[in-house]
Structure 1
């Protein structure tokens, strides 16, 4: 019974450590998320700055996995190139070594857990303050406290269970001073890191075991575990990229190639490297703490690996592009920017969804561009092909609305600021109206198709001119909508959109009255007039939906829809 309790205590201590690491990282990301993303965007213009950026951000949030996942999501959202991401990933590997230095310096020497409880008292009022930044900083304090409490509990439980003796017993059956043993420890390090999904947690366990002076588990064995952890940590970004686009998968693959290459290269000079690090710590740093040797090795490994490969970023990029080629039809029928799982923080997921909505709007605008072409097409085969294409686009817009809405609903389940909650509501309204634009464009195509099939009379030159003028006004409305949705464009007011909307409404009324007069005067048949005015009215409805998208982005109520939404009816 005691053994079972100890096992659960050991797992619980590790869980507390991981939870603390996650909470601390997420708290700091939310506290300084926009700043971190601004740093990523501004400081990755060249590979050197990219590396330094990766070091800085990872040292701050204490998680190379979080940085790498953030980078993958940036590449997925088109905010960072593949080449830029490789530099940041290199820096993230260096930045994550800060955790090992902190633990080596104070984790097992000073009773940090004793200070953790008072820290919780400081963090509690911040957690319940309700203010976004204060709450996020409170989460950071709580995470920091939980991290070191978990570390202290982990050491206490491991000592009580006699983990050191257990490990020594296992190692007694493993050949000592064998290169095979080093390879075995690398594999174990990779597997442990893959399981706990945190190289920092795996490094904490390694430092704890190394500090126990277990027979058969010396500096070289611990260093091999640390090398394996560098391979295991790549699995987090790789899993995050599985449902992302090709560029994001390439970034994750580059991370894996980079770390695997470093391990292979260091294996060639493994024993001399260990001796060099030991000499440096003993003679330059003054010795006194063997844990510093492992931290120094971990840091040296990542710095040297970066120095070796920093000049070959372009070659790494070419390699991963060769392994993962871009298909001609890649993502033609799928979302481009958001993946099946949420990446990094909720705020970052919202940003990805915004990019996807922009892509959604572009597809609607491109779909609308088929209508003038359909009007001018006389060949029946070409007409049917183009009308079928419009129908295909309409089906895609339906799917995009559902998938983006499902993604936003997942995001809304997380902890969000009031501003983020309001932003999600705006985005949900936008995608609903964008889907209606797709329906309306299809209705325009269907009206032209019905006219072609059921009416022998062609549109008069005057009708054709009026229809083209109306399409031009709607196109102008769509262009203004795209300016409002474009995240990189400067914010403008919606006065021009409102003016175009009024112009479309007035033009529709004018054409409707003129149509009644022309039909009564016998200028064309009643049936032709019905198809003509249906087309004009549908253009006006489409413009209503466009205006609703603009208003949703502005946070205003929808005042322009004058009919119930009925899909394609």
Structure 2
């Protein structure tokens, strides 16, 4: 085997891995994160968890990816450790589907239909159909189907190319002797684990073993320890993923490792013990694509069947080996970097933090309004603590979304990142203006000043209007409710109307001496901050409408033109809501 063959082998492996990555990415886009959402919802008992893990790992062709996703959900507090155990066990079964697909290489050439299913025929055909879909369809869904087909085609082409590159090894006696040494279980397990850990994929590692089987030197006694080692090697991905995560996330990675190590040790002792005692008749049988795929599936299914009844004991074991420690940052657990490889999940987690920011801003707003009439230092301290948390969330989320934008996102995902960036900025600015309200309340309290009953009534009406706008924005975000968001702009228009009127009235009070300059300054400062809070509520609400609108609508193409159209009488519904808000908030003080 010369340098050309080695280079060809590396290229074939690269094609295989790229094909698997392309197909997995396409499947994730096609399901819009539904696979990940299932992990949250369908794990209420261990058997459902196993089934779910098998389905998800089978669809994404990776137990490591499924386990890493599980670690992320446990780290975020979405899944409990006991729920994750079943998913991890099932993932080990689901990942064997790729080897079963690749066994098509062993089909007969006598029948044309069967010949077309062989990798050397199916790979190019699938890739060609995929590139047609990818190139000639503008629809996002059809384009994604094309991506999946391209990935599947490259998977077949890669495995066939690996087989061709490894063919010269059959002529080397040293290679045959090396495989005989692999029948030593310790060496075989070590080699299988090392290769899998290096390329971060047990699926690819099994595919290499299948390609080697074409040489005719792979026997059951050599394949078994290598496959066992591959199951251990794939745990490296999960272990690396758990670094810096919460205690339970580390325990989830440990469950994956312990599950595979315990299963390997048990079957190693049983099978090698039986062979030593009675001599297993298939021990030296030559393996091919199909028999390796079957051995891989059997071993993983048997390990799951063995350890499934002891799932609670497995959890107790990892809890004992990884004891309790300090608590993790709640924002960091929600914005887990592991979700970045699954953009749809990462976007939903980011949206969760945006909603939390909005809730904090709303809570602080109500605290600040309360401080204006009933000053309380404890309430002010709480407001300042929540403002610090709001700033921390804004900084963390901003960095997270910037990282996410560097990943492969479709048009909808890119739009959502942009909208979330605007929303977090709006909620953070609302928080800043709320702090300004609290500072005005403090200044009034320190100087023992108060507003006249008339000014206080005007201010109360304005605060109520701004408070409703803020409540509507949060409801819109919480429920993806475009109509709730639509109701914010009429309120914002009424807030502008009220603030303009109150400024004029307060200037008149200053002229007639009904109000002092010091009190008047704070009153005007409050009007400015309340109006700006309302403006940011409007901005955030329009972003919700933007996400829900159909392509080609005005709000999708030009938000400013959309708002201008509303204010110029372009919507009877807007005019009706504006009239209702005017009657509710402006008329009582007019």
- Of stretches 318-327 and 512-521 in structure 1, the one that deviates more from structure 2 is 318-327
1:68 matched residue in structure 2: 67
1:84 matched residue in structure 2: 83
Shift of 1:478: 2.6
2:226 matched residue in structure 1: 225
- Separation in 2, partners of 1:246, 1:466: 53
- Separation in 2, partners of 1:273, 1:51: 29
2:520 matched residue in structure 1: 529
Shift of 1:481: 1.8
1:424 matched residue in structure 2: 417
CA contact (8 A) 1:244 1:337 kept: no
CA-based RMSD of the aligned residues comes to: 3.7
2:402 matched residue in structure 1: 406
1:392 matched residue in structure 2: 388
| 1:485 aligns with one of 428, 452, 477 | 477
2:433 matched residue in structure 1: 440
1:189 matched residue in structure 2: 192
Counterparts of residues 501-540 of structure 1 (less than 5 Å): 501-540=492-531
Deviations 1:395-426 (A, max 9, x none): 32541353244134223xx2x33333332332
CA contact (8 A) 2:123 2:154 kept: yes
Whether 2:371 is the aligned partner of 1:371: answer: no
2:588 matched residue in structure 1: none
2:466 matched residue in structure 1: 474
SS of 1:501's partner is helix
| Compared CA separation, residues 33 and 397, structure 1 to 2 (3 A) | closer
1:344 matched residue in structure 2: 341
CA contact (8 A) 2:361 2:430 kept: yes
2:240 matched residue in structure 1: 239
1:565 matched residue in structure 2: none
2:576 matched residue in structure 1: none
SS of 1:365's partner is helix
Shift of 1:199: 0.7
Provide the TM-score with structure 2 as the length reference. 0.79
Shift of 1:549: 0.8
Whether 2:102 is the aligned partner of 1:103: answer: yes
| Compared CA separation, residues 302 and 351, structure 1 to 2 (3 A) | same
CA contact (8 A) 1:367 1:393 kept: no
CA contact (8 A) 1:210 1:222 kept: no
Shift of 1:544: 1.6
CA contact (8 A) 1:430 1:552 kept: yes
- Separation in 2, partners of 1:58, 1:383: 50
- Separation in 1, partners of 2:369, 2:30: 49
Shift of 1:32: 3.4
| Compared CA separation, residues 341 and 243, structure 1 to 2 (3 A) | farther
CA contact (8 A) 1:17 1:151 kept: yes
Shift of 1:463: 5.3
| Compared CA separation, residues 60 and 368, structure 1 to 2 (3 A) | same
Deviations 1:311-340 (A, max 9, x none): 4445545555666677665215x4442234
| Compared CA separation, residues 261 and 189, structure 1 to 2 (3 A) | same
SS of 2:513's partner is coil
| Compared CA separation, residues 385 and 123, structure 1 to 2 (3 A) | closer
Shift of 1:11: 1.0
| Compared CA separation, residues 367 and 191, structure 1 to 2 (3 A) | farther
- Separation in 1, partners of 2:342, 2:107: 31
Provide the TM-score with structure 1 as the length reference. 0.82
Shift of 1:237: 3.2
Deviations 1:163-196 (A, max 9, x none): 8644444467x5x87xxx3133222222211111
Deviations 1:93-117 (A, max 9, x none): 1111122233345258765213422
1:302 matched residue in structure 2: 300
- Separation in 2, partners of 1:273, 1:474: 78
CA contact (8 A) 2:335 2:397 kept: no
Shift of 1:87: 1.9
| Compared CA separation, residues 33 and 309, structure 1 to 2 (3 A) | farther
- Separation in 2, partners of 1:396, 1:426: 19
- Separation in 1, partners of 2:426, 2:171: 61
Deviations 1:473-508 (A, max 9, x none): 434333322222226x66644344334434433443
- Of stretches 522-531 and 33-42 in structure 1, the one that deviates more from structure 2 is 33-42
| 1:125 aligns with one of 132, 138, 156 | 132
Shift of 1:538: 0.7
Q: Which runs of no fewer than 5 residues in structure 2 stay unpaired?
A: 110-117, 547-554, 568-590
Whether 2:212 is the aligned partner of 1:209: answer: yes
SS of 1:130's partner is coil
Counterparts of residues 167-178 of structure 1 (less than 5 Å): 167-170=175-178
| 1:143 aligns with one of 145, 151, 173 | 151
- Separation in 2, partners of 1:504, 1:314: 58
| Compared CA separation, residues 533 and 246, structure 1 to 2 (3 A) | farther
1:153 matched residue in structure 2: 161
- Separation in 2, partners of 1:227, 1:452: 73
- Of stretches 304-313 and 123-132 in structure 1, the one that deviates more from structure 2 is 304-313
Shift of 1:54: 1.9
Shift of 1:552: 0.7
Shift of 1:16: 1.1
1:566 matched residue in structure 2: none
Whether 2:236 is the aligned partner of 1:271: answer: no
- Separation in 2, partners of 1:312, 1:424: 43
2:544 matched residue in structure 1: 553
| Compared CA separation, residues 541 and 89, structure 1 to 2 (3 A) | same
- Separation in 2, partners of 1:365, 1:319: 44
- Of stretches 293-302 and 528-537 in structure 1, the one that deviates more from structure 2 is 293-302
- Separation in 2, partners of 1:528, 1:346: 51
Shift of 1:368: 3.4
Deviations 1:67-116 (A, max 9, x none): 33343444456554443333222211111112223334525876521342
Deviations 1:231-266 (A, max 9, x none): 222222343444655554443343333323322333
Shift of 1:296: 3.2
Deviations 1:252-300 (A, max 9, x none): 3433333233223333324257899x97989xxxx99655444333223
Q: Which runs of no fewer than 5 residues in structure 1 stay unpaired?
A: 563-569
- Separation in 1, partners of 2:245, 2:406: 16
2:120 matched residue in structure 1: 113
SS of 2:347's partner is helix
